[in-house]
Structure 1
Amino acid sequence: MAFERDRDVSIAQLVGGIVSDAQVLVRQEIALARQEIREELGQAKSGAIKLAIAGGVLAVGGLLLILALAQGVAALFGWPTWAGYALVGVLAAIVGGVLLGTAQKQLKAVNTVPEKTVETLKENVEWIKDRTTSDKT
């Protein structure tokens, strides 16, 4: 009878230890997920700022170039005004496209899934499975 009581206490202690370890792991996983999300948000913020700057540069640059350069090019080469506007518009579109492309690449590189957290969660599930199955045998 004393042997059964000692066995029950040790099983209870083991289960309590597993639950305690699982709680600690969950807290650590949540902290890791928060940190990863902060890092990813920082990259997203940087990409969004660059995208906004690119849009502003495109708008202001395109307007100023169309107004100033188009008239100058047309007058310099003796072209009609529309030809000067077309040339300047194409150049502004090329510059804007390059800026937009680099901003999109940076935003696509942002990973919204915290991969380290997912990986460690899988490891923790396996660890808990191993602990619970080995205790039963």
Structure 2
Amino acid sequence: MTSIPPSPVGPGQDRSIGELLSEVTSDVQTLFRQEVELAKAEVRQEATKAGKAAGMYGGAGFAGYMLLLFLSLAAVLGLSNVIDGGWSSLIVAAVWAVVAAVLYQRGRTQMRDVSPKPEQTVESMKENAEWARHPTE
């Protein structure tokens, strides 16, 4: 069971509505500040975790790049046993050119679907502004 803190006003004395509203406003402001500080702390913590994960992705990307480089060299050396080394290098380069062209086209197609304006946020802000103008409706 929670106890009600004693009132600073003595028994039999009533506090005015202005005093009560002032106290409630002060409590709401304190609560809001505490919530903002909690949100900041959570965002910092999540940003740290995201930064570490991004570093791991970067390392994995570099390792993947090195893997493709050495596989390409192995393909060139393997083909050079069958045909001239210059032609084997051109064949491997042509395969990579096709891969690059396909990836470029797919990326270009997906980029056309990207909207630079955050539609949901804009709509939500419009609703908030409308509510702020007419809060009782």
The TM-score, its normalising length taken from structure 2, stands at 0.49
Question: Which is bigger in relative contact order (C-alpha 8 A, separation at least 6)?
Answer: 1
- The structure that is helix-richer by fraction is 1
The TM-score, its normalising length taken from structure 1, stands at 0.49
